[in-house]
Chains A and B, each alone.
Chain A
Amino acid sequence: MIVFSEVVKRYPGGHTALDGISLEIERGEMVFLTGHSGAGKSTLLKLIAAIERPTAGLVTVNGQNVGRLNRHAVPYLRRNIGLVFQDHKLLFDRSVMENTILPLMIAGATRREALKRARAALDKVGLLEREKSMPITLSGGEQQRLCIARAIVSRPALLLVDEPTGNLDAEYAAVILGLFQDFHQVGATIVIATHDERALALPRTRTVHLELGRLA
């Protein structure tokens, strides 16, 4: 589903985040990307979602060269990808519910259908009773879970997750990882960047280790 071949990503200013990565992720796989901060985990995720473009090499998702994707095609790629950000990227001027339904509204769902699916997603992350709250009133862990609800609400075939358990206590970390596993069970492809050792104890998962922009 995802193929990296000889991918180099150099940021303006000269920092080389990825240095000749070749990697293949099959449909339905659950992959952990590990490595120290600055090893290139976030950059790798950004290249898959066309948030960044490779300096050299080829990144394809479902056979599409996402590095050369037309500007107008990018939104349609992203609608099939659920993104969980390290910094959550919530909209603080609207409620938990309005944040959750945003991807569905963008995809053109009816409001009634969107509300129904958003409640299911919020229920999964344990935030259903907070649907009318504003994100600013949520704890760091709750904001993280809201971000996850927003990522899974449109049931994407591919979920890209950046440091999901960093802000969570052990109990909720297990719940969230269980959530990703459930999602994996129903056929989604999941790539999780983490340096959390707890995550790596999960069965039937593959680990890709990055070090200074190279596979190790």
Chain B
Amino acid sequence: MMRWLRYHRHAFLLALRRWLGNPYAALFATLAMAAALALPGSLYLGYANLAQLGGRLPAQPQITLYLKADIDGATLARLRQRLMHDGELASARFVSKTDALAQLQADGLANPLAGLSDNPLPDAWVLTPKDPSPGALAHLSREYANWPGVDQISSDRMWAERLAAALALVQTLALFIAALFAIALGAIAGNTIRSATLARREEIQVSRLIGASDAYLRLPYLYQGLLQGLAAGAATLLILALLMSLLDGPVGTLSALYGSRYSLLFLSPSQQALLVCFPALFSWLGAWLSVTRTLHRVDRPSS
């Protein structure tokens, strides 16, 4: 056990010395790996932020009936009667123009209306159908469109669904690109380690002659791969943080123009930890593959 710890301590210190002993190679490999990681990373951040926006939309499909501004009391009462007893609806809620304005003000989106003297918003009914399928929604929308007193119909579920579909696409794309770059990462790390092992070919040969096992020879290179990956992960985190701080100003200005306050979402602490550990794992794997390959090629006895 003590011997095992000694081997690891020795290998780690050796790896650290070799890695820092060649600072330019270390720097360039780190930058290459970090750049490769930053692409799927920023794509993921874009996805997370859009999803956060999308998450504020109603989860249940709803149909909104906007009523005509000049609707009379009798039509309004008939409409209420029919909607409250409609067997196809799970719920029906009346939103008066006063309530709608209050809601907008609460959301911080009322600024465009501030200059107007009277409330331009219509009265509305917000309906939740029992059958949430797009077909049923379309059918109901067509039916309500013909009712007296109804001005416009919007089914806000439609663009929410489009957004969800688009987000799913972005997510799949991000995962795919991340997988590709994981391979690239392993290849970069493996290549760095390969040149390191080839430069130390003689040392490997001599160490073998005096009793070094493959595991012993491999260990420092694995640590070097691990260090490389950790550094790349940390550098990626820095790049993404830089990107967010660059975008934070413009996004703030943009949302302020809409009278809203939206602040960008960054990675959670566990995601940050993952971002550092994930490249470390792949870099380690790349190092393992390349050093094992070199060890197999160096100096096999002939028979």
A residues at B contact (CB < 8 Å): 11-12, 49-55, 67, 71-72, 75-76, 78-79, 81, 83, 85, 89-91, 93, 102-103, 105-108, 110, 150
Contacts and interface: CB of A to CB of B under 8 A. Distances in A.
A108 to B, nearest CB: 4
A54 B303 contact: yes
Given A108-B3, A108-B6, A78 B303 contact: no
B213 A75 contact: yes
B211 A75 contact: yes
A83 B209 contact: yes
> Most chain-A CB neighbours within 10 Å: which of B10, B205, B216, B302?
B302
B199 to A, nearest CB: 10
18 contacts: A12-B302, A52-B303, A53-B301, A55-B303, A67-B303, A71-B214, A72-B213, A72-B214, A75-B212, A78-B208, A78-B210, A83-B209, A83-B210, A91-B203, A91-B206, A102-B210, A103-B210, A150-B210
Main secondary structure of the interface of B (DSSP, over half): helix
Interface in B201-226: 202-203, 205-214, 216
Contacts of A93: 203
A78 B205 CA distance: 13
B211 A106 contact: yes
A42 to B, nearest CB: 13
B60 to A, nearest CB: 64
Contacts of B94: none
Given A51-B301, A108-B6, 15 more contacts: A51-B209, A67-B303, A75-B216, A78-B208, A78-B211, A79-B211, A83-B209, A90-B206, A93-B203, A102-B206, A102-B207, A103-B210, A106-B207, A106-B210, A106-B212
Contacts of A55: 303
Nearest to A80: B211
A11 B303 CA distance: 7
B54 to A, nearest CB: 56
B7 interface: yes
Contacts of B302: 11-12, 52-53
Nearest to A106: B212
Contacts of A91: 202-203, 206
Main secondary structure of the interface of A (DSSP, over half): loop
Contact of A53 (B203, B205, B206, B303): B303
B251 to A, nearest CB: 53
A161 to B, nearest CB: 14
Contacts of A81: 211
Contacts of B10: 105
Given A52-B301, A55-B303, A108-B7, A78 B209 contact: yes
Contacts of B6: 108, 110
A90 B302 CA distance: 23
A89 B212 CA distance: 15
A63 to B, nearest CB: 19
B20 to A, nearest CB: 16
B270 to A, nearest CB: 38
Contacts of A150: 210
Contact of A89 (B3, B206, B216, B303): B206
Nearest to A83: B209
A152 to B, nearest CB: 12
A78 B208 CA distance: 8
Contacts of B211: 75-76, 78-79, 81, 103, 106-107
> Most chain-A CB neighbours within 10 Å: which of B6, B202, B211, B213?
B211
A193 to B, nearest CB: 16
Contacts of A51: 209, 301
A57 to B, nearest CB: 11
Contacts of B205: 89
Contacts of B206: 89-91, 102
A93 B205 CA distance: 14
Nearest to B199: A93
A103 B207 CA distance: 8
Contacts of B214: 71-72
B209 A106 contact: no
B271 to A, nearest CB: 40
Interface in B188-247: 202-203, 205-214, 216
Question: Closest 6 CB pairs between A and B?
Answer: A53-B303, A79-B211, A78-B211, A108-B3, A75-B213, A103-B210
A53 B299 CA distance: 13
B205 to A, nearest CB: 8
Contacts of A75: 208, 211-213, 216
A32 to B, nearest CB: 22
Interface in B166-202: 202
